[in-house]
Amino acid sequence: MNIIEIKDLKKIYNDSEVAVHAVNGVDLSFKQGEFAAIVGPSGSGKTTLLNLIGGLDVPSEGSIRIDGVNIGELSSRKLINFRLNNIGFVFQSYNLIPVLTAYENVEFIMSLQGYDKDKRHSRTVELLKSVGLGDRLNSRPNKLSGGEQQRVAVARALASKPKFILADEPTANLDSKSTSNLLDIMEKLNREENITFIFSTHDQRVVNKARRVIQVEDGKVISDEAIQSP
């Protein structure tokens, strides 16, 4: 069963004299447990597509259904709640709250969901251990390396028990070792816990790990290839 169904999706920007078709008639679907990469050059529409799937941007035309829910028909308040409970995000710039510790950054999502303190504590510790940061619970972002901050971001994305995680250029600011560690962690979570990851990337290291590669150009999907697992 597909957890995401995208039909004739379009996003048109009219900021200039010429309309820009950032996403232009995309049809895609994703099943639970995928480890997929959306690739393409800068300006190809891959980040816009990811933002549309995540409900961070509004389509000009077409539909996106997540577990049967057409997110384009949700009110602003309902969409915020839907994102909180169904979609995890990992951004290029980490987006951690600087005044909070690693523990507090992860726990914050669950406090928004209304989890009690004991459940928040046990899951936060478990998640930070799972990304190799069990000894950095009380460290603020400025005391963590870029790779460590991105691992906190992955733990935070998992905190809400989302249906899938969208990762927009998650390795762009990382060195080779940090990138390798981060991808190994995400691949392990995908294989062992069946967590769905959808990447927007131009990083070949991410593409090499993906089991499905979707190539986007000029807002259109030009290829969609399943990669044989090693």
Higher pLDDT, 228 or 86: 86
Q: What is the pLDDT of residues 24-49, one digit of tens each?
A: 999 999 999 999 999 999 889 999 99
Q: For residue 54, is pLDDT > 80? A: yes
97 CB contacts (<8 Å, ≥6 apart)?
A: 104, 105, 108, 141
CA 16 to chain centre: 29
How confident is the model over 45-61, as a mean pLDDT? 95
Element of type H or E holding 50:
helix 46-53
Superfamily of domain 2-226: P-loop containing nucleotide triphosphate hydrolases (3.40.50.300)
Per-domain residue ranges for the chain? 2-226
CB-based contact 51:11 (threshold 8 Å): no
Q: What is the pLDDT of residues 136-183, one digit of tens each?
A: 999 999 999 999 999 999 999 999 899 999 999 999 889 999 999 999
How many other β-carbons are positioned within 10 Å of the β-carbon of residue 121?
14
Q: What is the pLDDT of residues 68-114, one digit of tens each?
A: 999 999 999 999 999 999 999 999 888 999 999 999 999 999 999 99
Position 18 confidence tier, pLDDT thresholds 50, 70, 90: confident
